[in-house]
Structure 1
Amino acid sequence: MTNTNIVTYPAVFTATEDDGYFVTFPDIDRATTSGQSLGESLVNATTVLGRALKNHRDDLPVATTLTELTHQHPTEFIQFVAVDLDHAPEQSLPEDTGEIRVAG
């Protein structure tokens, strides 16, 4: 059985001065998060991606290629993040709330 509601987008992980990471999704406006470790940042990135896309299944943006992002962000770590929209957090945020963020 194939689940067609799993989506994958690249995330850019930028190291912070306190040994954590700040995470952005170049293809998803306002979706950012952070974490005190790479693992925590990845978990938070999955959550924020699900929240950002939960109500936009019919209007999902096209993901930027890894090659393009590598050229745009040569010093950052890029990781693809997958989320199952059927199991994304129920706390989908309204359009006008500004930044969609999960604090680290």
Structure 2
Amino acid sequence: MTRATLIKTIWVLFMSLFLSVQGLSQAHAAANGGTEHKHEGVICAVALVAAEQTALTPPLPFASPPEIAQTPLWQPLVERNLPRTFDGRAPPPRAPPTL
């Protein structure tokens, strides 16, 4: 077994041990309902961390102020459809085209 494989195997075993202990402690706390209880005369320190949650009501929406109708302060733009005319032409070329 190579060193890298050995290290990976140790990590997998360590993480599986860690996760199984966490799962068992959570299952134990859930089985007792989070209340204090004793094991052979000693109070168990494992308890649920989550507290009872109250139902949250969403906040009320803000009332928007009433809109006041106002006359616009600008005049509408009138477009004139005039035909375009081009009286000029392009200037003559300066040099012959290059190929």
Max Rg structure: 2
Structure (1/2) with the larger strand percentage: 1
TM-score, normalising length: structure 2: 0.21
Indicate the structure whose relative CO is greater, using CA pairs within 8 Å and at least 6 residues apart: 1
